[in-house]
């Protein structure tokens, strides 16, 4: 099982990004081991991370109502479909959440480099993690609906 010390920085960072950037409060649910590669949201950002101790990836998958609300609050733009504006927003949020988690993990002595996020959308799209380890999924509730973060890490050394 992946340790909470790896999961909590992503949870903290994602919550902080949404509350500061979009004024949206999110409430984490219970983490679970994810058994399939199918995304639970409509649009997903995935980012790979590698360092001397850890290798893995982080993904955030938003339902349409949540990402539309975030886009409206951050850009003042009304959107009603997953377009380039929405996928760009998901990429930014993925970057910001991973960057925040990276800073928190660095305080604990875990250092890694981040890749460029990749965005995937469409019904039942797949999320391919860069690690062979288990994938932990963590659901979040907002007033606009749900989103999910996924974390998959393996120790390198």
Nearest of 66, 71, 118, 72 to residue 91 by alpha carbon? 118
Map residue 75 onto helix, strand or coil. Answer: helix
The candidate with the shortest Cα–Cα distance to 5, out of 137, 104, 93, 103, is: 104
The overall average pLDDT reported for the chain is 92
**Domain extent at residue 8:** 4-155
Closest by Cα among 104, 110, 129 to 48: 129
pTM listed for this prediction: 0.92
Q: Give the count of domains, the chain.
A: 1
Distance, in Å, from the CA atom of 151 to the CA atom of 47, rounded to the nearest integer, reads 10
What is residue 39's DSSP assignment? -
CATH number at residue 107: 3.40.1550.10
Asked if residues 151 and 98 have their Cβ atoms less than 8 Å apart, the reply is: no
Per-residue pLDDT of 66-109, as tens digits, reads 999 999 999 999 999 999 999 999 999 999 999 999 999 999 88
């Amino acid at each position: 099982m992946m340790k909470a010390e790896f999961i909590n920085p992503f949870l903290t960072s994602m919550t902080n990004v949404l509350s500061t950037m979009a004024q949206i409060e999110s409430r984490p649910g219970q983490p679970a081991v994810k058994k399939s590669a199918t995304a639970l949201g409509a649009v997903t950002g995935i980012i790979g991370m590698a360092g001397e101790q850890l290798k893995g990836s982080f993904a955030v998958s938003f339902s349409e109502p949540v990402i539309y609300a975030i886009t409206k609050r951050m850009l003042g733009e009304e959107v009603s479909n997953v377009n380039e504006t929405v996928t760009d927003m998901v990429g930014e949020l993925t970057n910001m959440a991973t960057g925040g988690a990276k800073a928190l993990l660095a305080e604990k002595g875990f250092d890694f480099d981040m890749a460029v996020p990749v965005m995937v959308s469409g019904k039942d799209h797949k999320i391919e993690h860069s690690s062979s380890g288990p994938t932990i999924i963590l659901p979040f509730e907002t007033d606009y609906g749900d989103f999910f973060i996924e974390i998959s890490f393996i120790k390198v050394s």
